Structure 1
Amino acid sequence: MKKIETHNVKKILIPIRLQEYAVGIFKTIPTKSGIKKAIKKGFVKVNGKTATTALYINEGDTIHLYESEQKNEGKQFNFPLEILFEDIYLAVIYKPAGILVSGNSFATIDNALIQNLQKSALTDATRPRPVHRLDYPTSGLLLIGKTTESIIALNQLFEKKEIQKTYYAICIGKMEKNGEIDFSIDDKNAFTSFEVIQTIKSPRFDFLNLVKLYPKTGRKHQLRKHLFAIGNPILGDKEYFLEDKILKGKGLFLHASSLSFTHPFTKEKIIITKELPKKFKKLFPEF
């Protein structure tokens, strides 16, 4: 392995887990998920010893970050992406339904970014990285960081809840015109507000609703779990569904339609929207 970065731990009040402390200390890996993966792969050493995610950091410790010396020059994933916004710091792209954002698979948005985005001219330019996730069956807008500083800044905006996301879903059954869902997920607070835009009768599902969703937190499968919890699962959901109310072959009717935030560097107000997919418009042609 090749050593690429070193960090000396200065004054800290109480011991803290490595995977928490190391977020943001390395330019090469600025995200929490990236640090966790590096630790698990044995690329992080503390005081010369390979670290674990359970290790606590103390004042005076020395943390080294390594990378594999084996070059990974496998086939590149050539997958054209629709780019809705791009500058030297960040980009917003459209993720189609039915593709992973990242992971161990070859066919991911993460692997396609370098083919679609222009390399930043800034000195801390890095490989473009998604700074949040969308489920495999969900379509919509995805925010990408193109520099180390940008990735850190965008993650901080998400942590401070300063990035507003809006989704549309088609939900099954009779619904209130609007409401709020405050239902914990994995023992963590989770909050979603919703607004029913239009309702139509359905011979098979009784009612179908075009619903606008405003998640205030970002738990895994939050919108899908929340709507299922109030008895109005999303059409096409194969994990959270009512008996005899499963639609097969059309995918999940959940779409991340807009992103709104203040650009962390230019301070410009960024509002990006993406129209509803065709399968939504077949049921709700007015939209």
Structure 2
Amino acid sequence: MTEGEEWRHWTVDEGGNGQRIDKWLVSLDGVTWSRMMVQAWIRAGRVRVDGREVKVNYRLKEGETVALSVPPVEEIHIEPEAIPLDIRYEDQDVIVVNKPRGMVVHPAPGNPRGTLVNALLAHCKDLSGIGGVFRPGIVHRIDKDTSGLIMAAKNDQAHQALAAQLKAHRVERIYTAVVHHEIPHDRGTVDAPIGRDPHHRQRMAVVHRTGKRAVTHFVVRERFKDATLIECRLETGRTHQIRVHMQYIGHPLIGDLVYGPKKSRYPIRGQALHARVLGFEHPRTGEWIRLEAELPEDMERLLSQLRAESL
């Protein structure tokens, strides 16, 4: 490490007592580091506890001081790309796009092109810089194989205001999903904490001891032979939340090869999940903006097949 390198410091509170240092660091508010990245920094001596280097499985104690030196970010230029966008709302502060299934939201190392961010950079003169070089303007995300409404901020003030609404659960988000099997009751709530799956690090799971609180409300809209159309309202916004929660109660999403059956006979590539409604308070005017995007053609075809099979 270079002379005069800047270190960031935190004091371990009661909630961090007994936690592994790598897991604790990635759980801090406002950080975007992966656990694998943090573990590499620990092994490289970039993380210290009360001035001493530790191992990745070190268990923290309340009152200890954790210091971290984040290495300089490698400069990577994300190219604007003239990819067509289905824009549902746009002004000087916010843009809302109906994202197609199969489009990644933001670039990542080794995958710098063809994303929503590439398209937004070509369309917008400016995007907020809070998300960093890979996520300019991105306030929230939806999965690659989920379609529907997603908003981006054009300046830092708008980004901060929208992010605060998300954190306070004031953003309205309604999803339409088609799940395996018939759900017998008309509505329900899944309140189960979500964290990294301890057995499959690329997946999320309901993890009662270390997961973060996650709440999904759902209403049954239509039943088919061995399938159900539901509407989900997110109270929280954890990674893969609807997919994990529906698997947890025995109704994985149709087409979800990660959390459901490994093979699907249905005419849809990716999970049958669509971000249909997005409502938020405009960051400048305070006006309530509520947008709705119709179901994509692949989900309509799926529903037609299910209705025909249920006759």
1:110 is aligned to 117
- Could you tell me which runs of 5 or more consecutive residues in structure 2 were left unpaired when the two chains were aligned: 1-5, 14-23, 39-44, 52-66, 196-206
On the 8 A contact 1:18/1:55 being kept in 2, the answer is no
The aligned counterpart of 2:175 is 167
1:152 maps onto 2:170 in alignment: no
3-state SS, counterpart of residue 275 of structure 1: coil
Counterpart CA distance in 1 for 2:87 and 2:286 is 21
- Which residue of structure 2 lines up, in the alignment, with residue 98 of structure 1? 102
Can you list the C-alpha shifts for 1:177-225, whole angstroms capped at 9, x where unaligned? 211112221243211111111112xxxxx42221101111111111011
% of aligned pairs identical? 27
Partner amino acid, structure 1, of 2:299: F
Residue in 1 aligned with 2:216? 192
Match 1:85 to one of 85, 89, 103 = 89
Pair 221,74 (structure 1): closer, same or farther in 2 beyond 3 Å: closer
Please show how residues 71-82 of structure 1 align to structure 2 within 5 Å.
72=76, 75-82=79-86
Paired amino acid for 1:247: R
Contact 1:170–1:210 (CA<8 Å) still a contact in 2? yes
Decide whether aligned partners of structure 1 residues 74 and 141 sit closer, same or farther in structure 2, where only a CA change above 3 A counts: closer
User: Is the Cα contact below 8 Å between 1:19 and 1:53 reproduced in 2?
Assistant: no
Q: State the alpha-carbon separation in 2 of the partners of residues 55 and 147 from structure 1.
A: 38
Pairing partner for 1:138 from 140, 143, 146: 146
CA distance 1:66–1:223, change in 2 (3 Å): same
CA 183–247 in structure 1, closer or farther in 2 if over 3 Å, else same: farther
Change (3 A) 1:64 1:248: closer
Establish whether residue 247 from structure 1 lines up as the match of residue 265 from structure 2.
yes
Match of 1:275 in 2: 294
Query: Match of 2:235, as an amino acid?
Result: K
Gap change, CA 1:64 and 1:265, over 3 Å in 2? farther
CA distance in structure 1 between the partners assigned to 2:48 and 2:82 by the alignment? 34
Q: Alpha-carbon deviation of 1:19?
A: 8.2
| Counterpart AA for 1:269 | W
**Cα 1:146–1:207 shift into 2, 3 Å:** same
Cα offsets for 1:71-108 (capped at 9, x unmatched):
x5565333111111111111111111112112231221
Q: Which residue of 2 is the match for residue 177 of structure 1?
A: 186
Distance 1:275 1:264 in 2: 25
- The answer as to whether partners of 1:80 and 1:116 remain within 8 angstroms in 2 is no
Provide closer, same or farther for how the CA distance between residues 266 and 235 of structure 1 changes in structure 2, counting only shifts above 3 A. same
1:121-162 CA deviation, whole Å, 9 max, x = no partner?
x9x9x9851111111110011110110111122111111111
1:3 maps to what in 2? Answer: none
Q: Find the aligned partners of 1:64 and 1:88 in 2 and give their Cα distance.
A: 34
Alpha-carbon distance in 1 for matches of 2:276, 2:153: 19
Give the number of the structure whose residues are more often strand, by fraction. 1
**Secondary structure, aligned partner of 1:129:** coil
Q: Report how many residues are paired.
A: 251
TM-score, normalisation: structure 1: 0.71
- The separation in 2 between residues aligned to 1:19 and 1:182, in whole angstroms, is 23
Match of 1:258 in 2: 277
Structure 2 counterpart of 1:246, one-letter code:
S
Question: Secondary structure of the equivalent of 1:284?
Answer: helix
Alpha-carbon separation, structure 1, partners of 2:217 and 2:229: 14
Superposition TM-score, scaled by structure 2 size: 0.66
Q: Quick one: distance in 1 between partners of 2:77 and 2:251? A: 46
C-alpha distance in structure 2 between counterparts of 1:130 and 1:182, whole Å: 27
* Shift in alpha-carbon separation, 1:180–1:264, aligned structure 2, 3 A: same
2-structure distance, mates of 1:53, 1:159: 30
The question of whether the paired residues in 1 share the 8 Å contact of 2:81 and 2:121 is answered with no
Do the aligned partners of 2:149 and 2:277 also contact (CA within 8 Å) in 1? yes
Give 1:111's aligned amino acid.
N
Provide runs of 4+ in structure 1 moved above 3 Å.
14-21, 50-56, 63-68, 72-76, 283-286
